[in-house]
Amino acid sequence: MPNTTSNIIHFDLLSNCCHSFLRGYEFWDDWQKTGDNWILKESIFWIHHGVELALKQLLVRKDEFLVFEDIDVAVTALATLRKKPGMKNAGVLELFEHPDGVTSVTFQKLLERCAVMINLTELAEGEPLRSKIEELSNYRNKLAHFSVKFKTGYLVLDRYSFHTTSANS
């Protein structure tokens, strides 16, 4: 649940992640009941977002700078931000609230950093979980930026699997 103080709303990373997973699986259940492919699209977006935020949360626990595309730019931007009035104790993640040229890490680099920096062997290149997450990401990107066609069958999505399967399976 977002933290609200006066007219400021704050969504912390972990709560935002949990919300995205919850919405994604709610949409997934709705799609299975209705067969409405627009609902499936929503499910894919929300679940992918949950995966991304979960991985970022893991990186933040290791070192907050790891969620930035260019760590050197983030360090410089934080030094600049802390020189501004009232920002002496600004935190690393506050950089996202100021237009100082920082960007979050790409999804592919996020996977790699989690595999290497946190030593999550399940996310090493070629591992089954990594492959499934990359497959989910490919579906999400096609839906968001192009068009996508699932040739035959339907999608199966559970905690460890995202793939097409024959309608007769």
Q: Taking the complete model, does pTM exceed 0.85, yes or no?
A: no
pLDDT (average), residues 25-41? 91
Domain boundaries, the chain: 3-69+104-165, 70-102
Task: Quickly state the pLDDT bin for 134 (edges 50, 70, 90).
Answer: very high
Task: Quickly state the pLDDT bin for 127 (edges 50, 70, 90).
Answer: very high
- In this predicted structure, which of 10-19, 113-122, 123-132, 138-147 has the lowest mean pLDDT? 138-147
169, exposed or middle or buried, with CB in 10 Å at 0-12, 13-18, 19+? Answer: exposed
Query: In this predicted structure, what is the pLDDT of residue 3?
Result: 59
Q: How far apart are CA 33 and CA 93, in angstroms?
A: 40
Q: If you search the block for the tokens 């704050």, which residue do you land on?
A: 10
